[in-house]
Amino acid sequence: MSTLNRQFLESIGIVLDDQAFSQFNEHFEVTLEERIMESIVDELNEQQLRELSELRGGDDEQLQQWLRLNITDIDEIIQDEIDILLGELAENSEQINESTS
Amino acid sequence: MRSVEATPVNTTHAFKDREEAILDAVDDILEDDEFGSAAAELPDDDDNFVYLEGPGVTYDTEEGPWIMPEAYSESNDTSDDEPTIVQYGRERLRGSKALQQKTREFAFKRISQASIVKAEIENGTASIKRPLLERKQKAEERKIKKYEQKARTSMFAFRREAFARKARWAKRRLNETVIKLSKHEHMFGVKNSESNKDEVKDRGEVYKVQKKRYLERKQELELKRSKLLERQILASERKRRREMQYSLHDSKLNEADRAILVEQIKQLPTMQTFQANLKNQLKNELRDRIAKTKNTVNNSSNRWRWESSDREI
């Protein structure tokens, strides 16, 4: 299932065909995930970074537990990155539309 | 859309700074039990130390090269690459399916909410871009605060520099957003809140009137275009027929060709019939073009596009 939807994109002036939409959605998801990851890393102090790097061998559940304990405002971090990226789409809708048409 | 932020890049310190930093790091090692074994292996005062590329400070001892434990060598900022401790952290997060799923769920929910706002636009009660820009502005402001604080308090120099740089970038982005928001408000009025709902509703009415006027003017232009086209085609046809008549009197034309030409002229419909057919054809084309324009405008909530087109007309 796509994270973005065409109705939303069209409402901010971005009209894409099927292929362009699929590529754009993928780019959006990857960019968002990378930024959230970067933002989480930024949030950690040096000791926490060391602990996180030691979790490399652990499973996903361990990581989630660790994140819940160490980053209490992880939901806000994710929300902020989403808001920034959506804001960028709104800001640059005309250029995006031109470059994909 | 900007790309993912670049990873921090370390700067090179002067030799003296490095020496002091190394001595500080050695003090730290000696105070820390965890690094007791590493401390026992510390090089003698007589050993030379050299700087090699990559994370860590390498000592050239009598027994061979000795590399300072990684976690401490990072504090000396000796690498041109991002220190491993951050890379490992990022790598661990990148592999998390749960984090990926959470991100997508949040984004999906947020976009669905934005789409509900869009539905309100149809009634002229809200604008979708403004809330998106406002939320971005607030998020950027929160990030700047975080970056500035971390630029002051982070233990490692490379992180302090990276946060200072990120704060500068975020400020620049924030400025752009503030400018766009201000332009947006200039075009579409002030904030959409409960207190000015009537005002927003009024703007919604204005929006509908502008849309109607835009369509009327578009139709008027299409009609003019169609009439011009008709005149042009009729003029060309008359010219073509005149030339055929002239050719009949051309002395160089042989009898056989003349007979063919006479036959062609006979088969031509009268100008009245030609004009009637042309009118009919152009009328159909005009109807299709107007329907297409109506459809585009009515199905578009992108008021920016057609308002600017309206101004261009």
Q: What is the pLDDT of residues B188-211, one digit of tens each?
A: 655 544 445 555 556 666 667 777
Q: Does B99 touch chain A (CB under 8 A)?
A: yes
At B138 the pLDDT is: 93
Please give the model's pTM, rounded to 2 decimal places.
0.52
Confidence of residue B184 (pLDDT cuts 50, 70, 90): confident
A52 contacts in chain B (CB < 8 Å)? 88-89, 92-93
B237: Cβ–Cβ under 8 A, 6 or more apart, which residues? B271, B274
Q: Does B309 touch chain A (CB under 8 A)?
A: no
At B47 the pLDDT is: 43
At B203 the pLDDT is: 60
DSSP secondary structure string for all residues of B88-155: HHHHHHHT-HHHHHHHHHHHHHHHHHHHHHHHHHTTTS--SHHHHHHHHHHHHHHHHHHHHHHHHH-S
Q: How far apart are CA A52 and CA B94, in angstroms?
A: 12
The residue that leads in pLDDT, B83 or B125, is B83
| For residue A22, pLDDT beyond 70 | yes
Least trusted range by pLDDT, from A13-17, B26-30, B127-131 = B26-30
Mean of per-residue pLDDT scores for chain B: 71
Least trusted range by pLDDT, from A86-100, B113-127, B297-311 = B297-311
| For residue B145, pLDDT beyond 50 | yes
Confidence of residue B266 (pLDDT cuts 50, 70, 90): very high
Residue in the structure block whose two tokens are 């009634």: B123
At B194 the pLDDT is: 47
Confidence of residue B28 (pLDDT cuts 50, 70, 90): low
Q: Which DSSP symbol is given to A84?
A: H
The residue that leads in pLDDT, B185 or A87, is A87
At A39 the pLDDT is: 93
The residue that leads in pLDDT, B95 or B57, is B95
Strand boundaries in chain B, DSSP class E: 48-50, 58-61, 64-67
A51: Cβ–Cβ under 8 A, 6 or more apart, which residues? A66, A70
At B24 the pLDDT is: 62
Q: Does A101 touch chain B (CB under 8 A)?
A: no
- Which tens digits make up the pLDDT trace of B87-124? 888 888 888 889 999 999 999 998 888 766 655 555 44
Residue in the structure block whose two tokens are 């994109």: A9
Average pLDDT rounded to a whole number, residues A45-64:
86
Question: pLDDT above 90 covers what percent of chain B?
Answer: 25
At B277 the pLDDT is: 94
A83 contacts in chain B (CB < 8 Å)? 110, 132, 135-136, 138-139
Q: How far apart are CA B48 and CA B60, in angstroms?
A: 6
At A32 the pLDDT is: 94
User: Which residues on neighbouring strands pair with residue B58, listed in sequence order?
Assistant: B50, B67
Confidence of residue B83 (pLDDT cuts 50, 70, 90): confident
Indicate the angle between helix axes A74-91 and B129-153, nearest 10 degrees: 130
Q: Is residue B68 within 8 Å of residue B55, measured between CB atoms?
A: no
Q: How far apart are CA B81 and CA B79, in angstroms?
A: 5
At B130 the pLDDT is: 82
Q: Does A99 touch chain B (CB under 8 A)?
A: no
Confidence of residue B74 (pLDDT cuts 50, 70, 90): very low
A38 contacts in chain B (CB < 8 Å)? 4-5, 90
Q: Does B121 touch chain A (CB under 8 A)?
A: yes
At B40 the pLDDT is: 40
At A25 the pLDDT is: 92
At B219 the pLDDT is: 85
User: Which residues on neighbouring strands pair with residue B60, listed in sequence order?
Assistant: B48, B65
Least trusted range by pLDDT, from A68-72, B80-84, B155-159 = B80-84
The residue that leads in pLDDT, B119 or B293, is B293
B146 contacts in chain A (CB < 8 Å)? 42-43
The residue that leads in pLDDT, B197 or B54, is B197
Q: How far apart are CA B161 and CA B9, in angstroms?
A: 9
